[in-house]
């Protein structure tokens, strides 16, 4: 039953693939509260290919996607193209620099790199505004960067310095930013999804009950392993029930540390789980930023209009191991090579040049600019101070006196007994 993924996968070239929107065929009964549900039923669109035929549960994800000729020859303008390119290059350079810094001992802890998956982050987050929220996993550096958190802040956070976005408290897996509405960085898989669901409820509440002009959407990113976790299903149910403006984005890179997605999931086609809960489920080629962007546009518009959640499965791949401590011995070299050939950055570069949207020179300038930005971020992080000891006891509770400040009015860790462990804490 466990098939080697590379053996069954047909090679697809760079031609575009169809993104299919699968909707449930039945009408939902109107729920009692007018706020928590809509009396409108979901529109029903007939599908004209017979993918509903029964087949073996374990199929290569790509087998089910069909070819389609694009009606509009160019999907992006030059400006948009350059913005996307710059964002993906930033993601890639930053992660490569992270690896260098890790092996030099400048950062520690568990660091999970995003190389290869940049198309998903760029494709979705570049469509969002500053007030839209993003919730991510432990592989969150690039999500934070795409959302607008400065490279300096992220690098400092990785180094554990006080100028980091969380003042050095969280490290790699906990990138938060109130300003950019980046709701983190969750080390625990699936823990972010209910948080994202709550954030989406807030924007819906603001719009419908408080009558504020709010059409913020929330995008929750998570992986294929998370789709076997209970929290995922609980939130799909709640989001569809309350028609929340949320997009669930599955970054299906086929591996959960060492567990192959196909071997640990009864039905590996995750997009199918959307309609089971009453929301559209879409599968998209996650190595192509333009396709991701097209799907993201539809999903975001849907959410902004109040039509409810969408589940988007992006088929993508991580070029490095699970984390920097992972020797990455388990994955087949042929599989890695296949996906390396579909590198999203080279694909976008090729698209821009072939369609005369940009010249090589312009792209090189962008790359150089990003290199300098990342180097400057490292210098900044190096030069930043480490957090003071008093920060250890801050923010455990809301009221610092409730915990962190002693009866003499000073922070407890200023107390000389602190390092000796005899101070009353």
> Which one among 91, 184, 225, 280 touches other proteins, defined by CB under 8 A?
225
Which one of 16, 38, 58, 109 is in contact with other proteins (CB under 8 A)? 109
Nearer to other proteins, 76 or 175 (CB): 175
Complex with other proteins: residue 355 or 391, whichever CB lies closer: 391
Q: Which stretch binds other proteins (CB under 8 A): 7-15, 39-47, 49-57, 253-261?
A: 253-261
CA torsion angle 395 187 297 33 (round to 10)? -70
Reference 62, options 225, 275, 288, 229; nearest CA is 288
Which of 74, 257, 334, 340 is in the footprint of other proteins by CB under 8 A?
257
Instruction: Give the bridge partners for 251, in sequence order.
Output: 223, 314
| Residue 110 engages other proteins in binding (rule: CB under 8 A) | yes
Q: Identify each DSSP E strand in 305-421 by its residue range.
A: 310-315
**Contact call for residue 413 and other proteins (CB under 8 A):** yes
The answer to whether 345 contacts other proteins (rule: CB under 8 A) is: no
Among 117, 121, 218, 226, binds other proteins (CB under 8 A): 226
Number of residues that bind other proteins (CB under 8 A): 44
| 323, HSE (Cβ side, Cα atoms, 13 Å) | 15
Say how far apart CA 28 and CA 43 lie, in whole Å: 11
The CA-CA-CA angle for residues 262, 334, 253, to 5°, reads 40
Q: What is the largest CA-CA distance in the chain?
A: 75
Task: Find all residues with CB under 8 Å of 115, minimum gap 6, and list them.
Answer: 92, 95, 96, 318, 319, 320
Whose CA is closest to 181, among 199, 193, 168?
Answer: 199
d(CA 376, CA 374): 5
Identified binder of other proteins from the candidate list 129, 334, 386, 401, rule CB under 8 A: 386
Strands (E), 106-207: 133-135, 176-177, 182-183
Q: Does residue 103 interact with other proteins by CB under 8 A? A: no
Give me the phi and psi of 373, to 5 degrees please. -60, -45
Quick check: 187 binds other proteins (CB under 8 A)? yes
Among 24, 170, 274, 309, binds other proteins (CB under 8 A): 170
Among 263, 350, 359, 368, binds other proteins (CB under 8 A): 263
Closer CB to other proteins, 212 or 422, in the complex: 422
391 is a contact residue toward other proteins (CB under 8 A): yes
> Cα(204)–Cα(408) distance, rounded to whole angstroms?
46
Least Å from the CB of residue 391 to other proteins: 7
Whole-number minimum distance, CB 389 to other proteins, in Å? 6
400 binds other proteins (CB under 8 A): no
Binding residues for other proteins, rule: CB under 8 A, are: 108-110, 160, 168-171, 173-174, 187-190, 225-226, 228-231, 256-259, 263-265, 330, 386-387, 389, 391-393, 396, 403, 413, 417-422, 425
């Amino acid at each position: 039953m466990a098939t080697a993924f590379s053996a069954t996968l047909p090679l697809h070239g760079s031609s575009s693939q169809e993104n299919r929107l699968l909707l449930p065929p039945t009408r939902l009964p109107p729920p009692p509260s007018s706020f928590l549900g809509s009396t409108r039923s979901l529109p029903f669109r007939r599908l004209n290919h017979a993918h509903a035929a029964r087949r073996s549960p374990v199929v290569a994800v790509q087998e089910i996607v069909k070819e389609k000729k694009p009606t509009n020859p160019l999907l992006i303008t030059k400006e948009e193209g350059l913005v996307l390119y710059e964002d993906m290059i930033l993601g890639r350079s930053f992660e490569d620099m992270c690896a260098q810094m890790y092996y030099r001992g400048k950062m520690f802890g568990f660091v999970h790199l995003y190389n290869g998956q940049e198309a998903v982050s760029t494709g979705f987050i570049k469509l969002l505004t500053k007030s839209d929220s993003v919730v991510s996993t432990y592989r969150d550096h690039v999500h934070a960067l795409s959302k607008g958190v400065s490279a300096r802040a992220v690098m400092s956070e990785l180094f554990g310095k006080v100028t980091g976005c969380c003042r050095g408290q969280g490290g790699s897996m906990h990138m938060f930013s109130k300003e950019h509405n980046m709701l983190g960085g969750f080390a625990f898989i699936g823990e972010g999804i209910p948080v994202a669901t709550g954030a989406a409820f807030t924007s819906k509440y603001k719009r419908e009950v408080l009558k504020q002009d709010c059409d913020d959407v929330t995008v929750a990113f998570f992986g294929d392993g998370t789709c076997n976790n209970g929290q995922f299903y609980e939130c799909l149910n709640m989001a569809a029930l309350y028609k929340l403006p949320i997009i669930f984005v599955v970054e299906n890179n086929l591996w959960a540390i060492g567990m192959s997605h196909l071997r640990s999931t009864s039905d590996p086609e995750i997009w199918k789980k959307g309609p089971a809960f009453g929301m559209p489920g879409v599968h998209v080629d996650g190595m192509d930023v333009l396709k991701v962007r097209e799907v993201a546009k539809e999903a975001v518009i849907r959410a902004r209009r109040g039509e409810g959640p969408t589940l988007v499965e992006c088929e993508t791949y991580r070029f490095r191991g699970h984390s920097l401590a992972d020797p990455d011995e388990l994955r087949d070299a042929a599989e890695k090579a296949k996906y390396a050939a579909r590198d999203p950055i080279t694909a976008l570069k090729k698209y821009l040049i072939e369609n005369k949207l940009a010249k090589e020179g312009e792209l090189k300038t962008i790359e150089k600019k990003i290199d300098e930005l990342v180097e400057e971020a490292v210098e900044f992080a190096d030069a930043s101070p480490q957090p003071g000891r008093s920060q250890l006891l801050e923010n455990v509770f809301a009221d610092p006196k409730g915990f962190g400040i002693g009866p003499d009015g000073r922070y407890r860790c200023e107390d000389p007994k602190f390092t000796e462990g005899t101070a009353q804490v």
